Amino acid sequence: MSTAALPVGIGAHAAGHAPCPLSATSSESRIRVIVVCEFSGAVRNAFAMLGCDAWSCDILPSETPGQHLQCDARDVLDKGWDLMVAHPPCTHLAVSGARWFAAKKREQAEALDFVRALLTAPIPHIALENPVSVISSRIRKPDQVIQPWQYGHGEVKATCLWLVNLPKLIPTQIVEGREARVHREPPSPDRWKNRSRTLSGIASAMAGQWAPAVILARSQNVRISDGANVDKP
């Protein structure tokens, strides 16, 4: 394999975050995938199992072995990726926290700017995931809303997908069960982590459907769908 253009020592965008210490390796035939704001490695590993040159990126270290960039994602968006799957933090965006919006206007504005930066990144294929949030009203409506029970997990958790040049996900395994597991989890220091991890069935569907779509688009030099229209703030 040849060394791809991801320099050693990429500077951290946010103060206090260590620079990225790694160099990505890939061949020209492999799809280069970056999974932004992921510490679990679930989506990264699903793509890696299919032979993709898959990396996760987060300011936290990875919980599982695999290629991981511990830095601000904005520092690596221009490193020649074919596909990005982004999970921006929903703390200041999810409508479930609407009662606190008035007290954190600045934080919400910064979170929306981060979403805009992701949706307009110089990457040909982009998927951005978030719960029901103000992204729909402040930027644009999602292209799709999926549920865990459509992908083999008997629970509910509405997940919105904003897609750029990617097809909508097709349900892979509809099962019984509509438990609101993540909402019923008792308070704990790791509750936010448990709520943010991508379920294995959804991660597998993303990799299994989007990797072939990117390969097809690259081979035929075509666009799969219209790109995102990102409104100005």
pLDDT (tens place) for every residue of the chain, 233 residues total: 233 334 322 333 332 333 333 333 445 579 999 999 999 999 999 999 999 999 999 999 999 999 999 999 999 999 999 999 999 988 657 666 555 566 667 887 888 999 999 999 999 999 999 988 888 888 999 999 999 999 999 999 999 999 999 999 999 999 998 888 666 666 655 554 556 689 999 999 999 999 999 999 988 887 665 444 444 33
3-state secondary structure of 1: coil
Q: Contact, 38 vs 203, CB < 8 A?
A: no
Model-level pTM? Answer: 0.80
Confirm whether 6 is domain-assigned: no
Tell me whether residue 59 is in a domain: yes
Give the three-class secondary structure for 118. Answer: helix
Contact by Cβ (8 Å): 60, 17? no
**Is 227 within the bounds of a domain?**
no
- Count of C-beta atoms within a 10 Å radius of residue 2: 7
CATH of the domain at 42: 3.40.50
User: With b meaning 16 or more CB within 10 Å and e meaning fewer, what string describes 105-140?
Assistant: eeebeebbebbbbbbebebbbbbbbbbbbbbbebbe
- The structural domain count of the chain equals 1
